[in-house]
Amino acid sequence: MTLQSIKYERGRLQILDQLLLPDTTRYVDVKNSEDGWQAIKKMQVRGAPAIAIVGCLSLGVELYDKTFMSVSDMQSFVTEKLNYLVTARPTAVNMADAAARFMAFSKTLADGSLSPGDAKIRLIEEFESMLEKDIATNKLIGKFGGEDILSRSGSKPIQILTHCNTGSLATAGYGTALGVIRYLHEQGKLDQAFCTETRPYNQGSRLTAYELVYEKMNATLICDSMAALLMHQKNISAVVVGADRVVSNGDTANKIGTYQLAIVAKHHGVPFYVACPLTTYDGSKKSGEEIVIEERPAKEMTTVKGINCWNPAFDVTPAELITGGIITEYGVFPPSKLKEELAKYQNDKL
Ligand SMILES: CSC[C@@H](O)[C@@H](O)C(=O)COP(=O)(O)O
């Protein structure tokens, strides 16, 4: 059984408190959208897909206990709460994407054909479907990405470098970039995965390392500052990272430090891939310059009081550095073709 960041049954949501990992495994109840907002803001749950799923399910749990006089009352309530959930963290687009889709869906429920109670259950069912869809999506990402890497590597042992945490803890299960590594491992083709510590929040050393050990994959931890030497000395087959927002020209926001990995990969001729679902694509923005980068509190960085800190949680990797491609559930696309390729699938989202 893989690690489970989200436990859900209708009317009850629990999340694995990622602030306590790896030392303590404790699930906490998320009883409503306010709890959901707080859990996302405090990073008890994190990772773009998991943020959206927990946000929507927290609202689903709140809805379950509520009664509405009319479907349009429910629709106003849901719109207000979804808009609120989007404000918890600004950079990952998945929650905003889900909010837009579910607001549109809740409008379709107000056509008079369903009672308020039935409409509420239809909406809850749609929230619930995110769990299975995310895992199915991640398995496709894993396969497309894994096969692409294998096709480029000939008979060489496969060694993958990844950054941040993109596995079961950041999604409903299987993972995106870590899904690619998992697929290669399942095929018996993974020689070794390297993961960065991912300073300052240490998603790599606390969460990815924990997942890799838990899954018994052959894996090695490095400090972020060791990536250039690693690529110089260790025959890295590919760098594979996740994403928080990919915009229409292919520029990609992901965990701080991704940009420098992409530069180093280009210098060493190592293919650099971004792995993410269609729900991480934001076609409304033309370039990475338009992406809002979250800044986190200085206390996440400091060991000495009195020093000034700058703590951006994400950076933007320019499309031209994504040399391997963007791995989605529909295939692997060069960033320059992403917009036209994904346009074909936009209506499949719900
Ligand atoms: C599948 S998760 C992809 C990204 O969300 C992940 O790489 C990342 O940057 C997470 O940042 P975090 O600040 O931990 O939410």
Nearest to 206 by CA among 23, 48, 66: 23
pLDDT surpassing 50 at residue 271: yes
Arithmetic mean of pLDDT over the chain = 96
Q: How far is the CA of 65 from the centre of ligand 1 (A)?
A: 31
Confidence at residue 345, expressed as pLDDT on a 0 to 100 scale = 86
- Tell me what the mean pLDDT of segment 165-176 comes to: 98
How far apart, in whole angstroms, are the C-alpha atoms of residue 300 and residue 311?
8
Check: CB of residue 44 under 8 Å from CB of residue 15: yes
Query: What are the pLDDT digits (tens) for 36-86?
Result: 999 999 999 999 999 999 999 999 999 999 999 999 999 999 999 999 999
Q: How far is the CA of 168 from the centre of ligand 1 (A)?
A: 12
ipTM of the complex: 0.98
Q: Is the CB of 255 under 6 A from ligand 1?
A: yes
How far apart, in whole angstroms, are the C-alpha atoms of residue 27 and residue 3?
12
Q: Is the CB of 190 under 6 A from ligand 1?
A: no
Nearest to 257 by CA among 176, 314, 297: 314
Query: What are the pLDDT digits (tens) for 273-326?
Result: 999 999 999 999 999 999 999 999 999 999 898 999 999 999 999 999 999 999
Lowest mean pLDDT among 193-197, 297-301, 326-330: 297-301
Query: What are the pLDDT digits (tens) for 141-160?
Result: 999 999 999 999 988 999 99
How far apart, in whole angstroms, are the C-alpha atoms of residue 314 and residue 85?
20
- Here the contacts of 3-6 (C-beta below 8 Å, separation 24 or greater) are 3/167, 3/168, 3/169, 3/210, 3/211, 3/214, 4/168, 4/173, 5/45, 5/47, 5/50, 5/168, 5/169, 5/170, 5/171, 5/172, 6/45, 6/50, 6/53, 6/54, 6/57, 6/131, 6/172
Q: Where are the beta strands (DSSP E) in 4-126?
A: 6-9, 12-16, 27-29
pLDDT surpassing 70 at residue 349: no
Residue 32's CB is within 10 A of a number of other CB atoms, namely 17
pLDDT surpassing 80 at residue 346: no
Check: CB of residue 173 under 8 Å from CB of residue 133: no
Residue 294 alpha carbon, nearest atom of ligand 1: 13
Task: Specify the residue for token string 């917009």.
Answer: 339
Percent of the chain predicted with pLDDT > 70? 99
Percent of the chain predicted with pLDDT > 90? 93
- Which amino acid residue places its CA nearest to atom 1 of ligand 1? 166
Q: Is the CB of 55 under 6 A from ligand 1?
A: no
Q: Is the CB of 75 under 6 A from ligand 1?
A: no
Q: How far is the CA of 74 from the centre of ligand 1 (A)?
A: 32
Burial class (CB in 10 A: 0-12, 13-18, 19+), 276: buried
By most ligand atoms within 8 Å of CB, the mutation choice from 203, 239, 282, 315 for ligand 1 is 203
Confidence of residue 350 (pLDDT cuts 50, 70, 90): very low
- Tell me what the mean pLDDT of segment 195-200 comes to: 98
Confidence of residue 111 (pLDDT cuts 50, 70, 90): confident
Three-class SS state of 62: helix
Does the annotation count 244 as an active-site position?
yes
Q: Is the CB of 176 under 6 A from ligand 1?
A: yes
How far apart, in whole angstroms, are the C-alpha atoms of residue 276 and residue 52?
14
Q: Is the CB of 313 under 6 A from ligand 1?
A: yes
> What does 266-289 look like in DSSP terms, one character per residue?
HHHT--EEEE--GGGEETT-SSGG
Highest mean predicted confidence (pLDDT) among 189-203, 297-311, 332-346: 189-203
Check: CB of residue 13 under 8 Å from CB of residue 54: yes
Name the catalytic one among 17, 97, 134, 244.
244
Output the six-digit token pair for 167: 């596995």
Output the six-digit token pair for 203: 């998603």
